[in-house]
Amino acid sequence: MLRSVSGDMSIFWISLGMGLAVAAILALSAVAFTLEYAVSNVVNLAHGEVLTIGAYAAYVSDTNFHQSLYVCAIIATVFGALAGMALNFGLIERFRNQKPVSTLIATLGASLILQNLLLIGFGGASVSYGFAQGSLLHVGPFLWTTLTIRVMLSAVVVAGLIYILLQRTRLGKALRAVSQNRELAQVSGIPARSVVMQTWAVAGAISGFAGFLYGETIGTITPTIGNGFLLLSITAAVGGGLGRPYATLGGAVVLGLVMSIAGTYTSSAYQLVFAFGFLVVMLLIKPNGMFVRGRALTVRA
């Protein structure tokens, strides 16, 4: 995902900067993943595919319908939301009375289906967005393109929207109630199924938008980009605190740092190895997450 050369400090900052853009996208994806876990108590292994669907939706509206950047972004978000809701309705809700591991396996099946549908529809070769990269800018020690800056800004804006949603809307409060105890929330008058569906729509929208941002930043997309994002989202969420949006955000930041540093001093291909090493270490010493208090003796879903 990143290109880096070892050693030189300025290179470090440059790669850190580039890494920041991707890390921002990763943070959004991770928060969406954690919201899905929070509200449905499910590890959604098809999460990466929602992102990919958004990325391809934007691609289609760009290539086939020649829409502007902003319209493509909206299309990606909408399709992401639709994908999230479809996943919830078609799969997650139907496995509600089964063990979480069974649902995890089912989402694995869904991931296979979605990824290969995209493969059939768009082919395995990478396709590119047609949006301009913009000029380079020096911002402090970082070297960014205007595109990168726009990506990071929109990520920050979305993060802000998520904050508002969680803290200041009724949905946010209902979400927290449902994630604590769905039956209790239902009995207290909260329409749990509707809240769950809305949350999946929101999580899907965020993922779809993240997919669009990814396409913008990297320039090309393939049907399998979801794999990397799934794994890194899991790492960030579990490392920070599964089911908790702010803790997950923190986890994403730490993960981004770990990967950047790893990428500078070793080849970029090993960044993923380090990322997963980070996941395993976190699960061993602090399985509830870095930013979550308390230690569980045995960690079960």
Partner 1 sequence: MLQYWTAILTEATIFGVLALGIDMIWGWAGDFDLSAYAYFALGVYMTIIMTVGKAKAPVEYVLGWRLPYLLAVVIAVVVVVAFASIIGAIALRNLRDVYFSITTFGAVWAIYYLVENFTPLFNGYNGVFGLFDPLGQHLSYNAYHYFFFAFCLLVLFLVYLLVQRLSTSPFGRMVRAVRDDERAASVYGRNVFWAKYRTYLFGAGLAGLSGGLFAAYIGAFNPLDWKPTEIFVLYAAILVGGRGNPRGVVLGSFIVYVGFVEMTRYIPSPAARPELGPALRQILIGLLIILMLKFRPSGLLPERLGTDGTGVRRSWRSWLTRSRRLPDPRHDDVAPDPAIGVES
Among 116, 133, 181, 194, binds partner 1 (CB under 8 A): 116
Specify the residue for token string 């880096």.
Answer: 4
Interaction between residue 290 and partner 1 (CB under 8 A): no
Euclidean distance between CA atoms 88 and 84, whole angstroms: 6
Within 119-148, which residues bind partner 1 (CB under 8 A)?
Answer: 119-120, 123-124
Euclidean distance between CA atoms 80 and 162, whole angstroms: 16
Closest CA to 69 of 217, 173, 187: 217
- Number of residues engaging partner 1 in binding (CB under 8 A): 51
Among 131, 163, 270, 291, binds partner 1 (CB under 8 A): 270
Among 108, 127, 149, 171, binds partner 1 (CB under 8 A): 108
Closest distance to partner 1 from the beta carbon of 80 (Å):
20
Among 5, 11, 112, 156, binds partner 1 (CB under 8 A): 112
Closest distance to partner 1 from the beta carbon of 162 (Å):
23
Phi-psi region of 142 (alpha: psi -120 to 50; beta: other; left: phi over 0): beta
Euclidean distance between CA atoms 47 and 29, whole angstroms: 8
CA Rg value for the chain:
19
Closest distance to partner 1 from the beta carbon of 78 (Å):
24
Closest distance to partner 1 from the beta carbon of 69 (Å):
30
Euclidean distance between CA atoms 127 and 220, whole angstroms: 5
Among 3, 66, 99, 168, binds partner 1 (CB under 8 A): 99
For partner 1, which stretch binds (CB under 8 A), given 154-162, 184-192, 200-208, 229-237? 229-237
Among 127, 283, 286, 290, binds partner 1 (CB under 8 A): 283
Interaction between residue 89 and partner 1 (CB under 8 A): no
Euclidean distance between CA atoms 226 and 54, whole angstroms: 11
Interaction between residue 234 and partner 1 (CB under 8 A): yes
Closest distance to partner 1 from the beta carbon of 159 (Å):
24
Euclidean distance between CA atoms 177 and 166, whole angstroms: 11
Euclidean distance between CA atoms 161 and 180, whole angstroms: 22
Closest distance to partner 1 from the beta carbon of 290 (Å):
15
Euclidean distance between CA atoms 59 and 52, whole angstroms: 10
Report helix, strand or coil for 143. strand
Closest distance to partner 1 from the beta carbon of 268 (Å):
9
Interaction between residue 101 and partner 1 (CB under 8 A): yes
Euclidean distance between CA atoms 87 and 50, whole angstroms: 9
Closest CA to 18 of 271, 226, 243, 279: 271
Binding site for partner 1 (CB under 8 A): 43, 45, 91, 94-95, 97-102, 104-106, 108-113, 115-117, 119-120, 123-124, 227, 231, 234-235, 238, 267, 269-270, 272-273, 275-277, 279-280, 283-284, 287, 296-301
